[in-house]
Amino acid sequence: MNPQRSFVTIADLSREKILYLIRMAEEFEAFPNRDLLKNRIVATLFFEPSTRTRLSFETAANRLGAKVIGFTDPKVTSSTKGETLKDTIMMVSNYADVIVMRHYLEGAAQYASEVSPVPVVNAGDGANQHPSQTMLDLYSIYKTQGRLDDLNILLVGDLKYGRTVHSLLMAMRHFNPTFHFIAPKELAMPEEYKVYCREHGIRYEEHEDFNADVIAKADILYMTRVQRERFTDLMEYERVKDVYILRAAMLNKARENMKILHPLPRVNEIAYDVDNDPHAYYFEQARNGLYARQAIISDVLGFTLEDVQNNKLQL
C-alpha cells in the first residue's frame, strides 16, 4: 500500500508543496518532451465522461515517455459483471505503475488509494474534489498574476456541486485570499465549505447579483457550469441553468490584471463574445493542465524537481 504518494485531495498539500509543483510545471512548460517515465505504464480509469482531464493526463504521460492503458466507459469493463472497485484497482495495479481515476462516487479516490499498491491520482470524485484541476488553476493564477497571495477571487455559478471551486478554496487557504461567492440560493456554497473558510481564516462574501460592479472587485473571475448531471430534479436544473451568463459588455470596469478562468466544459455561462476579450484565459488554462499533470504524475512516482531539471530531453 502506498497511500502517502497518492494525490487524492488538495487539502493534504502544504503551501510549500503547491509552490514546488508549480516550479515543476514551469519546467515542463519550458520543455514538455522528456523520457522521465520511459518504461512506465499509466492507467486512466474514467468511470465518468471527460475531455480535458483524461486527454491532458494521457498527453502528459505520453510526453514523459510512458505508455497509457485504461478505459473511458465503465460499461465495457467487468464492473458491469459486478466486479468491485477494490478488485478493479487490484487488477489494474498488476499492470500499471500509477492509476489516474475519475469516479462518480465521492470518496472513491480516497478508498482506491487505501487499497492500491500503486499511487492513485484523483481525476474527480463526484461533487467532492478535483485536485489536479486545482493544480492547473493555481498554476494559471500564478502565471497570470505573478503570485498566489492576497488575491480577490470571484467564484460564480454552481458552487453547490462544482467540485473545482471546493478544491480551489481549500488550496487557497495558504495564500490569504478574499473570495466572493456568487450563486443563486439553490446552488450556494455548501455550509461545510463556509465553515472551512471560517476555521482557516479565509474571508468571503456572498452575493446573488452578478454585474460589472462585482466583477470590478476581481483579480480572478472563476466561472462554473451548472452541473446538470448532479441534479435529481431536472425542473430545478431548468430554473437555474442560465441564471448567470458572462457577456463582454459586463467587463467594462474589470481590473487590467483580471483573468477569467473556467474549468470547462462551458454550456451557456460564458457568451462567445468574451472569448476574444484580453481577460479571457480559459483555453490557456486548459493547456496549463498538461504541465500541471506532468508534475503530478512525476511527483507521485517519486521524481523530484531536480530529477526533472536533469532529465535529458527527447529529441
Choose the catalytic residue: 34, 54, 63, 102: 102
C-alpha to C-alpha distance for 56 and 275, rounded to whole angstroms? 21
* CB-nearer residue toward ligand CP: 127 or 250: 127
* Minimum CB distance to ligand CP, residue 51 (Å): 4
* CB-nearer residue toward ligand CP: 93 or 288: 288
C-alpha to C-alpha distance for 295 and 259, rounded to whole angstroms? 23
Choose the catalytic residue: 9, 34, 52, 217: 52
**Which residue blocks in the chain are alpha helix, DSSP H?**
15-30, 52-63, 85-95, 108-115, 131-145, 163-171, 191-199, 212-215, 234-240, 282-300, 305-310
Q: Active site includes 34?
A: no
Report long-range pairs for 148-151 (Cβ below 8 Å, ≥24 apart).
148/18, 148/19, 148/172, 148/174, 148/175, 149/175, 149/176, 150/175, 150/176, 150/177, 151/175, 151/177, 151/178, 151/219, 151/220
* CB-nearer residue toward ligand CP: 51 or 78: 51
Q: Active site includes 81?
A: yes
* CB-nearer residue toward ligand CP: 93 or 285: 285
* Minimum CB distance to ligand CP, residue 289 (Å): 8
Q: Active site includes 173?
A: no
Q: Active site includes 166?
A: no
Choose the catalytic residue: 34, 54, 130, 225: 130
Q: Active site includes 53?
A: yes
Provide the sign of the torsion angle of the four alpha carbons 182, 131, 53, 304, taken in this order. Answer: positive
Give me the residues paired with residue 178 across strands: 152, 203
C-alpha to C-alpha distance for 101 and 82, rounded to whole angstroms? 18
C-alpha to C-alpha distance for 181 and 153, rounded to whole angstroms? 9
Choose the catalytic residue: 81, 185, 232, 312: 81
Q: What is the DSSP string of 263-276?
A: -S--SSSB-GGGTT
Residues 13, 4: contact at Cβ < 8 Å?
A: no
* Minimum CB distance to ligand CP, residue 120 (Å): 17
C-alpha to C-alpha distance for 195 and 10, rounded to whole angstroms? 17
* CB-nearer residue toward ligand CP: 52 or 279: 52
* CB-nearer residue toward ligand CP: 139 or 303: 139
User: What residue type is 268 in one-letter code?
Assistant: N
* Minimum CB distance to ligand CP, residue 228 (Å): 13
* Minimum CB distance to ligand CP, residue 53 (Å): 3
* Minimum CB distance to ligand CP, residue 18 (Å): 19
For residue 294, give the C-alpha cell.
506532468
Q: Contact residues for ligand CP (CB under 6 A)?
A: 50-53, 124, 133, 263-265
Residues annotated as part of the active site: 52-53, 81, 102, 130
